[in-house]
Amino acid sequence: MAKHSAFTENPGIIIRLEMSTTQTIGGVTKINGMMKAKYIIQIIDDLDLQANPRDSKTGAVTSAIIDSAQSDPQLFPFKTKGILLAASDYQWLDRDRIRMFFVDRSIEGILDGGHNTLAIGLLILNRALEFKGEKPLRKNLTWGEFKKLWEEKREMIGEYCESIRKNDDGSPNTENTTGSDLSFYIPVEVIVPKDPEDKMCVADFRSDLLEICEARNNNAELNASAKANQKGYFDELYKQFQQYEPGLAKRIEWKTNDGGDIKVQDIIALVWLALRQLPEVKDAEGKTVVPPAPVKLYSSKASSLKQFERFMSSPEVTVGEHGDYKSALRNNDVLKAFKLAVQIPALADYIYANFPNMYNAAGGSYGKITAVKKLNESRRNKHTPYGDESVAVASPDGFITPLVFGLTELVDPDTMEWRQDPQRFLEKNLQAIVNDYAQVLSALGWDPQKVGKSPMSYTTVERDYKMALAGMLE
Residue 173 has pLDDT above 80, yes or no: no
Neighbour-count burial for 204-220, b at 16+ CB within 10 Å, e otherwise: bbbbbbbbbbbeebeee
Residue 180 — very low, low, confident or very high, per pLDDT cuts 50/70/90? low
Residue 56 — very low, low, confident or very high, per pLDDT cuts 50/70/90? confident
Say how far residue 318 (Cα) sits from the centre of its chain: 22
pTM of the shown model: 0.60
pLDDT score recorded for residue 359: 98
d(CA 141, CA 162): 26
**Among 5-19, 168-182, 426-440, which stretch is predicted with the lowest mean pLDDT?**
168-182
Residue 11 has pLDDT above 80, yes or no: no
pLDDT score recorded for residue 207: 74
Q: Are strands 97-101 and 18-25 parallel, antiparallel or unpaired?
A: unpaired
The pLDDT mean for the chain works out to 88
Residue 178 has pLDDT above 50, yes or no: no
Say how far residue 342 (Cα) sits from the centre of its chain: 25
Residue 268, CB-side half-sphere exposure with 13 Å CA sphere: 29
Contact 214, 47 (CB under 8 A): no
For residue 421, CA distances in Å to 36, 467, 472 come to 60, 16, 18
What backbone torsions phi and psi does residue 390 show, to the nearest 5 degrees?
Answer: -65, 140
d(CA 392, CA 353): 8
Residue 129 — very low, low, confident or very high, per pLDDT cuts 50/70/90? very high
Q: Which one is predicted more confidently, 141 or 175?
A: 141
Q: pLDDT of 68-119, one tens digit each?
A: 999 889 999 999 999 999 999 999 998 889 999 998 887 789 988 889 999 9
